[in-house]
């Protein structure tokens, strides 16, 4: 077998070993970062996804509007009000009917 084929095969194996080593190092770094603070990061990602989902639902909801909610839970703040089954606008946060 010619020498250049052996050298080429060894070069390919060396590249494979280096790539495997880099991959294992990245896995170790990822595990260490997750153990250090990844849990909080993951919780943040989930919260952001849920918030985004709620925003999409609010945007998709027909006739949703911001109105002041005078319940103690909402403290007169403007909240999203959506129509309930009777067609009345209710606060999406505390389900109090809108006062008009
Ligand atoms: Zn409310």
Q: What is the pTM of this model?
A: 0.38
Q: Distance, CA 33 to ligand 1 centroid (Å)?
A: 40
Q: Give 92 Cα–ligand 1 centroid separation in angstroms.
A: 7
Confidence of residue 62 (pLDDT cuts 50, 70, 90): low
Separation of 76 CA from ligand 1 center, angstroms?
8
What proportion of the chain, given as a percentage, has pLDDT over 90?
57
Please choose, from the candidates 100, 93, 51, the residue with its C-alpha nearest in 3D space to the C-alpha of residue 72. Answer: 93
| pLDDT mean over 18-38 | 91
Element (H, E) at 18: helix 3-33
Shared-domain flag, residues 81 and 93: yes
In this structure, the answer to whether residues 2 and 51 fall within a common structural domain is yes
Mean pLDDT of the chain: 88
Q: How far does the centroid of ligand 1 lie from the alpha carbon of residue 59, in Å?
A: 18
**Residues 18, 46: one domain?**
yes
Asked whether residue 77 falls in the same domain as residue 47, the answer is no
Same domain membership, residue 99 and residue 81: yes
Task: Report how far ligand 1's centroid is from the alpha carbon of 96 (Å).
Answer: 6
Mean pLDDT across the stretch 49-69?
82
Rounded distance from Cα 53 to ligand 1 centre (Å)? 20
48 and 1 in a common domain: yes
Residues 74, 47 share a domain = no
* Structural domain containing residue 45: 1-60
Mean per-residue pLDDT for 90-96? Answer: 93
Per this entry, what is the length of the chain?
Answer: 100
């Amino acid at each position: 077998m010619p020498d250049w084929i052996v050298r080429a095969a060894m070069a390919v194996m060396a590249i494979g070993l280096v790539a495997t080593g880099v991959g294992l190092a990245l896995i170790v770094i990822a595990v260490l970062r997750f153990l250090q603070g990844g849990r909080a990061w993951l919780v943040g990602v989930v919260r952001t996804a849920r918030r985004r989902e709620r925003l999409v639902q609010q945007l998709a909801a027909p006739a949703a509007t911001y109105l002041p909610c005078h319940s103690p839970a909402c403290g007169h703040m403007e909240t999203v009000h959506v129509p309930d089954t009777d067609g009345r606008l209710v606060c999406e946060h505390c389900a109090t009917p809108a006062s008009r």
